[in-house]
Amino acid sequence: MTTSTPTTSVEEPGGSGPRAGSYYGNPIPYLPIDSYPGKIIALEGTDGVGRSTQIHLLREWLEVQGYGVVETGWTRSELMQPTIELAKSSNTLNKLTFQLLYATDFADRLEKEIIPALKAGFVVLSDRYIYTAMARAGVRGVDRTWIRNLYGFAIVPHLIFYLRIDEKTLIRRVLQSRGMDFWESGMDLKLGDDIYESFRAYQRSLLKEYASMADEYNFRILDARRKVEVIQEELRRQISAFLAESDAGSPAAT
C-alpha cells in the first residue's frame, strides 16, 4: 500500500491498521469524524449465507435492549440504485465502471446514512460492506492497490462478521433461492458458455478472495452452515461483549 496515514494509525489490539470508527485512508477533508458514539457492525459473506435474516433478528434484539439501529445495504442508495439496476440489465458494464458505481453508491450511503447515524449514536447494521466490492474486484483482476485506495474514505467497522460457507453449500443455496443470474455467475468474465460451470468457478474464486481478506481486515469468521438460531446466538454473544465493553467506557451506560 502506498497510502500511509499518520493521523489514523492508532492500533487496534490484535489487529493492524486504522482504528475502528476512523477512516481507512486519508479522511474525507470536509467530513472529519471525531470519536462519534455510534458503532458499525458489518455482516459480510457471499449470497446464500443468510445475512438479511440475521440482520433482521439482530435489529429486533438490539432495539429491545434500547439501542437505536440503522440498517444500510449494498447498492441501496437512493442516488444509485436505479442506475446500477439499469446498468446491470443493459450489460454494458465493465470491471472499472462496475466498481465505480458501487463506490458511488457506498459514498452516498456513507455520507447520508452511516456518518449521521454514527454521530447520533446509532448502531449501524451493514448488510455487506466494502469487502464485497473488493472480493468482486479481486476476482475480476482489478488492481488491488487501486481498489484499496478507492475505498480509503470508508470507515473501519467496529465489528466485521464474515458468514462463511463452503462452495457446495453456497451453490445449492443460491440455486434453491433465486437461481443464477448473469453477474452472480460471473458471466462477464467469460469463463465459458456453460453457465453452471461459470457460476461455480466464479463463486469459488469469490470465496478465495474473502478468505484472503480475513486477516487483513480482522474478520470474525462464523460458520454459516449452521442453523439460523445458532448463528444468531453467537452473533449476539459477540456483539453483547463488544457493546458492554464500549458502554463501560461511556458515562451514559445503563
Site of interaction with other proteins (CB under 8 A)? 2-3, 25-30, 78-80, 82-83, 86-87, 92-94, 96-97, 100-101, 103-104, 107-108, 110-112, 143, 145-146, 149-150, 152-153
Letter string b/e over residues 50-78, b meaning 16 or more CB atoms within 10 A of that residue's CB: bbeebbebbbebbeeeebebbbbbbbbbe
Smallest separation, CB 124 to other proteins (Å): 18
Identify which of 211, 188, 191, 214 has the alpha carbon closest to the alpha carbon of residue 201.
Answer: 191
Smallest separation, CB 108 to other proteins (Å): 5
Smaller CB distance to other proteins: residue 2 or 176?
2
Smaller CB distance to other proteins: residue 67 or 153?
153
Phi, psi of 223 (to 5 degrees): -80, 110
Phi, psi of 53 (to 5 degrees): -60, -45
Q: Where are the beta strands (DSSP E) in 134-181?
A: 159-164
Smaller CB distance to other proteins: residue 84 or 159?
84
The interaxial angle of helices 130-139 and 195-213, nearest 10 deg, is 120
Smallest separation, CB 8 to other proteins (Å): 13
Smaller CB distance to other proteins: residue 78 or 194?
78
Smaller CB distance to other proteins: residue 83 or 238?
83
Close Cβ partners of 102 (under 8 Å, ≥ 6 residues apart):
74, 75, 84, 133, 136
Smallest separation, CB 199 to other proteins (Å): 25
Smallest separation, CB 96 to other proteins (Å): 4
Smallest separation, CB 176 to other proteins (Å): 33
Letter string b/e over residues 148-164, b meaning 16 or more CB atoms within 10 A of that residue's CB: bbbbbbbbbbbbbbbbb
State the SS3 of 2-29.
Answer: CCCCHHHCCCCCCCCCCCCCCECCCCCC
Smaller CB distance to other proteins: residue 110 or 171?
110
